[in-house]
Each structure stands twice: as C-alpha cells, then as structure tokens.
Amino acid sequence: MFETFIFNERNLKVRQQILPRLRDKEAREGTDTGPADDNRFPFFEAFENNPGDPYIVNLARGIVDSWLVCDPFFNEGEYFAGYQRPSRGCAEHFSCGIFADFDDDPRAKSLKDAMKPLTDEYMYAHGREIMGAESHEWAERYLWGTGGYQGHTVPSYDKLMKLGIGGTVEQIKHYDGITPEGDIRKKDFYKACLIVMEGFSAWFLKLARDAEALADTVDGEWSCQLREIAQTCRDVSWDAPKTFRQAGQLMWGFCLWDWVDCVGRFDQYMYPFRTGAEEEKYMLADLMLKFWEHGVHNITIGGVKPCDGSPAENELTYLILNILRANHDVHPRVSLRVHDKTPDSLLEYVTEIWGDQMSDPTVASDKQIIEGLMGYGVPLEDARNYSVLGCQEIEIPGKSNFGCEDGVINLAKLFELTLYNGRDRIHSTGQVGLDLGYITDYDTFEKLWDAYTKQVEYFTRYFCELCNYGVDIRVANVAKLVKSCMTEACIERGLQLDDGGSVYNYGCVETAGHAAVGDSLYAMKKLVYDEKKITPHELDAALKANFEGYEDVKKMLQDVPKYGNDDVEADAMSARVLEHFWTEIGKYTTRRGQPFTGACSLLGGGTGMGERTGPLPDGRRAGEALGNTVGPRTAADRSGVTAMLTSTARMPLHLGMGGSGCNVLFPREILQTPESRSKVAGLVRTFMTMGGQLAQITTASKEDMIDAKIHPEDHENLIVRVGGFSKKFNECGENTQNELIKRYGD
C-alpha cells in the first residue's frame, strides 16, 4: 500500500508538457487560462442573439457555447481529454454568476443589464439603508466581507456515475413534464438545465471528433491513444460509465464544467470501477496531474462508509497519497478523514509525507464532524458522508449548500469598538457602533463583557442581513447553474442551488479575532479587575500610544496566560467568545432556508484583518496578525504543540461546522524516524478524538523561511500552510511571510 509511486512513460510525458505552462497557486485556482485570439465571444452572442429570452436560458447557452467553440487541445500521452476554456471576454463562476469587465469593455458594458441582473451595489445599497452610509462604509472596509466570495459546493459525483448524462437528462425531462406550464420560474430552470446537460453531451462528442481528427495526422502509439480517448468520450457522452477509464473521463469532464472546484469523496465513488489492472494506476496518475495543473480545490479520502460506519479506506486512498507524494506540490489539496479505526500505519505514512516538506493532507475528525453535523439536524447516514471542500469547509456532497463563506466577521474589531464607545479611534470615523461606554467606564468585568456582547449582537443582525443580500445576488445571477444539475433535490424541487434547492442549506460565517478577544478579556479580568495591577486609565493610555513608552504594561499583559497553552481559564475565555458569537448567528436563517453556522478557515484573512485592527489588551500592537484558523493568535502559544492542540480541542467546534481548522507546526526534523513519526501520528489521533476538527500541517523550518526571504532562488519548493491552503513560500506576500515566521515565536 505504501510504495514509492513511479510515473510511467505516458505520465512523465504529460507532466513535462504541463511544467512550462504551470501557473502559480492563485492563477490555478482562478482557473482562467487567459483570453483567446479567435475573436469568438459566445457569452456575448448568447445574450445579443436572444434579447427577449430569460436570463437563465441565455446563461445556459453561453456556458455551453463557451465550451463548444474551444479549439482542440491534447497532451501527448494523456489518458483523459479536456482542458479549461479561455475566458473570451467573460465567463460564469459559482461565486457570482457571469463576470466580465463591465466597466471598461464596451461590448460587456452594453450588455451589463442583461448579463448581470444584480450587482454588488444591491447589497451595498441595502447596507447603507439599514446601517447608515458612514457606518456601512466603515464596516465593509474594516470589519467584514459579505456577499460570499467563494461559494464552493461538491456536486453529486455519485449521481453522475449512476445516471450518466443521459439518465440526468431524462430526470430533468420527467420533472419538467410534471410541472404546470404556468410555473414559469421552474420551467425556465428546467430548460436551462437541459441546455447545460445536452451541451455537456455534445462537448464529449466534439472531443471525440477532435481526437479522431488529430489521430489522422499523427503516427504510431499516439494515434492509437487518441482513438482510445475518442472512444471513451463517445462512451460517456450519454451512457453511465462502466469502466475505470470511462468513470475518470466523465468525472474529469464535469469537474472542468464545475470550474475545477472540489471533487468530494473521490476514492469512494471511483473505487467500484477499479478492477486492479496495472494501467488503472497510471490513469489515476493522469487524473491527479490534471488536478495539479488546473488547481482542484480539494479531494477527500478515507473516513467511514455512510451505510454502516465501517472503515472506507481502499486501494485508491493509498494510491492518491502515493501520487500526491511523488508529484510534491500544493495541488490538489487532499483531506484525509480520520476515525477510531484508521490504521496506525496510514497515519504514520501521512507523517512521512509531511516529513517530505508537504503540507497535505489535512486531517479531519470523523468523530467531531459527524457528531457536529448531527447536532444541526443532519441524519447519521448523510453526516457520515461529509466531505471537506474549498480550503477547509465542510459539506454533504451532492446534497448541500452551506454557503461556503457567506461572509467574514472580525470580532477583534468589535472588541476595539467596545473599548471606545462604538467608535474606531484608529481610523478616525464617527459613531459606527453602540455608544455603551469607554474602556475607562467599565468598572467591573461583567459590565465590559455585557458591552462587548451587545456590540456583537448589534452588528451580527446587520451582518446576517447583508449575507442574505449577497445570497440574493447569487440567486438572481444563477451562480451555480452547472452545480444545480448535479445536486440532489434541485431537479426534484425545480430550484437552483442558491435558492434553497439542495437538501441542506445552512450558512457559513468565517470568524476572525476570537483568540485576540479572548486573550484581551482574560488579561483585563486578571490585571484590571481581579488583581488591580493596571488601572483602566493606564491601559487606555498604553493602547492610545500603541504601547510606545508603556513597555512595562505591555509585558504585564503579554505575561498573562494565553489561549493555546493548555491553561484552562484562558482557554475558557476564548471558548466563551466563540460560543457567544456562533450561538448568536445561529438565531438567524439564511435566505436558503436554514441557520447560519460558525467557521474558522480564513486563508490569509486573519493577517489582513489584523492590519486594520488597533492595539488590544492582550499586548498585541496595531496591525499585527490575528491568526488564520481556530487556533491561538500567531505566536501566542509558547508551551508546545501538545498544549496548543489541547487548548484548541476545548473550543466549541460543534458550532463551527462550516469548517474550523487549526494550524499545526511539526518541525521537519522530528518526522525523520519511525519512532518519532509514530508519536506524531498518535498525537494527531488524540487531537481528532478529544475535540479537534481539522488540522493543517506546516513542517517548513523558521530558518528556511528566513533564508528564503534573502535567497528565494534557493527555496523554490519550500511549501507552507497559510490558513486553509498550502502555498510555495516564495509566492506569499511579505506580510504573510512574516506571519508564517512569527508562528515559531519571537
């Protein structure tokens, strides 16, 4: 099972063709391969040629035509066909609907009203209306990002494998046939879905013709391989797949049409097609190379079976890890589900991969996540089938739309307002929050906590309203039309994915700053209120000076125990902060129909939000990072990794079911012997059991990162885990690089 994977000659040939055109992480995940020079603009033409037709129908035409006009492209030696299309002026995306340069491109500008039913201004206008112009502008700039900038979901690849394209078309026709003619909204939805799926079939037939045409112009083995590709594309153009190769071709095709998003429990739905033939290993490698080049966001492997909870690891689980290790890059992201019967040998092999300076796979706790999902009302069988997606979000594949970052909020900024009577002294604005008092007015901790929670509750109501206006934008722009075709209940209900079409429709609110707030509250409780070593006026003066000239006050604040060091009282304060906010958002319902849930997978958001947050009573200076995961604030954990994981496991992660990861540092040198790897694997298993939800690993050393800033050419393959995703250190911005280095302490 744990073997060094060696690419075969075909794989190596494909890999060598990919390398010169391999883009950086952001470009891969953006999935836009650039403009085309053929002067064809299928989206524009779809709307220009059919001005009286419904938006959703023209959108479907634009999607299909944008694929059918693509010139043929094949990597010599590949097993599976399909390459991302160029944008040609505009394209659709699952986060926003159609995107284009509507301001400067004359053709796009003339079509904006037709191609963009709702813009972000709809959300901003409502924000100004409900909060006031100045408060809303401040909140958008310094506090949160709303409207959902991602929106990942996992389509039902199980359904695709079972029904194929033809079966899906027949399903759409059936529900269209029983829908009354007067129900225009549903009828238009079904018409659009039929256009998409029939167009998907036509695209496979086009690939077959293109492969055959190229085969006629080349000789030898490549000609034979092209004819095999053509036949496979014809085989899956309508019928459900019967072989591993057919299943791989069908899933890769839909993955492309789904903007190369997340592919769910890949080792589960592909395994029934595995015969054990040696060549299938290299077919899998070909798929993994495509995932690598095009930036697949996440693959989930391992875990338990939905039907009975028995271990689900299989041969593909191990093969995927072997190939991931052999390719050694930041894509595709892989998440390994860990349960109580996960073999020790598998976890120890994962530590070997980390020891090779890889940051994948992320590990996810079946125990915590399944129990947490059930707490939100998801039945056991579906909860057992969860998938990690995006960077570290959680969904039920093919049955859910948890919003995937409906919005992001900065609790540390709200605490800052609490200290200054609802005003942001750092950015010189007027009254933006509630006028409940200044830091010098709170003569008891209880009054401070009461003021903070009132500020949070005040902004949470507005925040959730704005998140829902963001959902309105996605609904109007039909951001997930392709995904809706392959999500259970959407077809049955006649509703698109963002309009409540899926089975589960919870919200997801990313949460920044909880650790800084918890540490600040705990420091004030001890030093200001309990021990009275610092007066409120002294603390106010120190904060106003950003601690310049108040180093003694800063040191006293920093010396108070912090979340992340296995201090029960300090941890309890951060847990209280999270539980309050995540309980509060649960009082509000998404436009999709179910409550908001918490999450903490901020990418680099904790760094950016920290730049816009002033000094705090935990001893943090203005602008310092807030942390990008549910773990402690950057460099606040000083008692070792075991203490940090123990503290993180105390957080109320059952309420953070949008996905709440934790950055974990394992120095590479401790992963070089079987004995040490066994200890690390045991530590990871304990974390997964005692309350941890998701753990993401960095093994890059502090010394290597410092040297990489000076000599980047010597560290081109230095991989780090930022916050939900891995990235080459040299591709990180300076602030992110500094935050990564600071995680190791000052």
Give the mean model confidence (pLDDT) for residues 540-554: 97
Compute the distance between CA of residue 452 and CA of residue 436 in angstroms, rounded to an integer. 9
By the 8 A CB rule, do 250 and 241 touch?
yes
The per-residue pLDDT for 668 is: 85
Compute the distance between CA of residue 539 and CA of residue 440 in angstroms, rounded to an integer. 9
| Residue 692 burial class via C-beta count within 10 angstroms: exposed 0-12, middle 13-18, buried 19 and up | buried
Q: Which residues pair with 389 in a beta bridge?
A: 393
Q: Which residue has the higher pLDDT, 718 or 309?
A: 309
Q: How many domains does the chain have?
A: 1
Half-sphere exposure of 461 (CA within 13 A, CB side): 8
pLDDT at 724 over 70: no
Percentage of residues of the chain with pLDDT beyond 90 = 80
- Please write the tens of the pLDDT for every residue from 371-390: 999 999 999 999 999 999 98
- Please write the tens of the pLDDT for every residue from 145-183: 766 667 899 999 999 999 999 999 999 999 999 999 999
Q: Which residues pair with 234 in a beta bridge?
A: none
Residue 715 confidence class, pLDDT cut points 50, 70, 90: confident
Residue 427 confidence class, pLDDT cut points 50, 70, 90: confident
By the 8 A CB rule, do 657 and 400 touch?
no
Residue 429 confidence class, pLDDT cut points 50, 70, 90: confident
User: Measured between alpha carbons, how far is residue 293 from residues 111, 327, 356, 362, 504 in Å?
Assistant: 33, 11, 21, 20, 32
Residue 190 covered by a domain: yes
Residue 217 covered by a domain: yes
Q: What are phi and psi of 126, to 5 degrees?
A: -65, -35
Give the mean model confidence (pLDDT) for residues 117-135: 93
Whether this model's pTM surpasses 0.75: yes
Residue 532 covered by a domain: no
The per-residue pLDDT for 41 is: 92
- Please write the tens of the pLDDT for every residue from 606-652: 888 999 999 999 999 999 999 889 999 988 999 999 999 999 999 99
Residue 100 covered by a domain: yes
Residue 746 confidence class, pLDDT cut points 50, 70, 90: low
By the 8 A CB rule, do 425 and 434 touch?
no
pLDDT at 336 over 90: yes
pLDDT at 498 over 80: yes
Instruction: List strand residue ranges (DSSP E) for 339-438, in order.
Output: 362-365, 387-389, 393-395, 407-410
Residue 170 covered by a domain: yes
Residue 383 covered by a domain: no
By the 8 A CB rule, do 503 and 521 touch?
no
Strands 719-721 and 726-728: antiparallel
Q: What are phi and psi of 740, to 5 degrees?
A: -60, -45
pLDDT at 303 over 90: yes
Residue 140 confidence class, pLDDT cut points 50, 70, 90: confident
Residue 365 covered by a domain: no
pLDDT at 708 over 90: no
Nearest to 486 by CA among 230, 183, 295, 253: 253
pLDDT at 345 over 80: yes
Residue 720 covered by a domain: no
Q: Which domain does 108 fall in, by range?
A: 31-117+162-257
